[in-house]
Amino acid sequence: MSKKLISSIVFQSAFIIVCLLGIVLFIHRNGAFFDAMSYFTLQSNVLCLIVMAISLFRTVAGSTSHVRSFHVVKTGTTVAILVTFIVYHFILRPVMIQFETMSDTPELSSILVHYVAPLWFFANYLLFEPKGALRESDGIFFYVFPVIYISLVFASVFIGNRWGIGDLDYPYPFLDPGVIGWLGVMTAITVIAFFVNFMADLFIVFELTIDGLAKRRLLFRSSGNGQSSILSIDSISISVLKRKSMLIDANESVI
């Protein structure tokens, strides 16, 4: 087993433990499993936990099947959990602090699910995930999880079920037309869609760039080897011609 493989196994195993701890603490803090599961935060963390567990199993087993398909799934999961981090840190947390619905110092469960898990999963992508497998058409798959979540929220409210904790019908205020109006909701969804699209393009361009550089490096090496071979062949040819010339001169002198 190579050092990188061992590091990957340790890194993924530690993530599973920490991510599971964050999920358990988050559910315990919110009191009810289904209420806690109404949040995109927890659902994206559970998705990361499942995907990382599968990834760890594939790494240990040395699986080489469906490598590209799983890479697309794993990268899409990375985008989903980064949405959790960005939305919480730059939108929800400042608003909640402003209206004094949370303290300046977040609880451990919040730190684990909103910061540690997203950044750790992203670090795993940067450090251990093979690059260059994404295609331009793969970006559409990164929308699947956010679209399913938002669709389930509105479908649940439509049939009368309650999402979220407390007296809220929606898990997030930016999805609640009763709080910010339908125009505000559509604006929020558009911003999220724009961010997902931006992240998808960023990952795809990043991988296509790496793939292009790898191919150029391979061509350069091949070209270099080819030139070396040509030079060596030319050297041999010149040497042979010199020897033939010397033999001819020797024969002429004997005659």
pLDDT, tens digit, 9 for 90 and up, residues 197-231: 999 999 999 998 987 776 766 666 665 554 544 44
Asked whether the predicted pLDDT for residue 175 surpasses 60, the reply is yes
Q: For residue 255, is pLDDT > 50?
A: no
Q: What is the pLDDT of residues 37-58, one digit of tens each?
A: 889 999 999 999 999 999 999 9
63 pLDDT higher than 90: no
| Structural tokens at position 141 | 């798959």
The string of pLDDT tens digits covering residues 3-42 is 999 999 999 999 999 999 999 999 988 777 777 888 999 9
Residue 253 confidence (pLDDT): 47
**CA-based nearest residue to 187, from 77, 140, 195:** 195
pLDDT given for residue 249 in this prediction: 53
What is the per-residue pLDDT across 72-112, written as a single tens digit (0 to 9) for each?
999 999 999 999 999 998 888 887 777 656 666 678 999 99
Is pLDDT of 1 > 90? no
Q: What is the 3-class SS of the chain, one letter each residue?
A: CCHHHHHHHHHHHHHHHHHHHHHHHHHHHHCCHHHHCCCHHHHHHHHHHHHHHHHHHHHHHCCCCCHHHHHHHHHHHHHHHHHHHHHHHHHHHHHHHHCCCCCCCCCHHHHHHHHHHHHHHHHHHHHHCCCCCCCHHHHHHHHHHHHHHHHHHHHHHHCCCCCCCCCCCCCCHHHCHHHHHHHHHHHHHHHHHHHHHHHHHHHHHHHHHHHHHHHHHHHHHHHHHHHHHHHHHHHHHHHHHHHHHHHHHHHHHHC
pLDDT of residue 120: 98
Q: Which one is predicted more confidently, 171 or 43?
A: 43
Confidence check: pLDDT of 144 > 50:
yes
pLDDT value of position 254? 43
Give CA–CA dist 190/86, Å, rounded.
15
Judged against a pLDDT cut of 60, whether residue 168 lies above it is answered with yes
* Mean pLDDT for the stretch of residues 131-145: 91
Q: Residue 80 in contact with residue 74, Cβ under 8 Å?
A: no
- Can you give the pLDDT at residue 33? 78
Sort residue 89 into left (φ over 0), alpha (ψ -120 to 50) or beta: alpha
Q: What percent of the chain has pLDDT over 70?
A: 78
pLDDT of residue 211: 75
What integer pLDDT is reported at residue 217 of this predicted model? 67
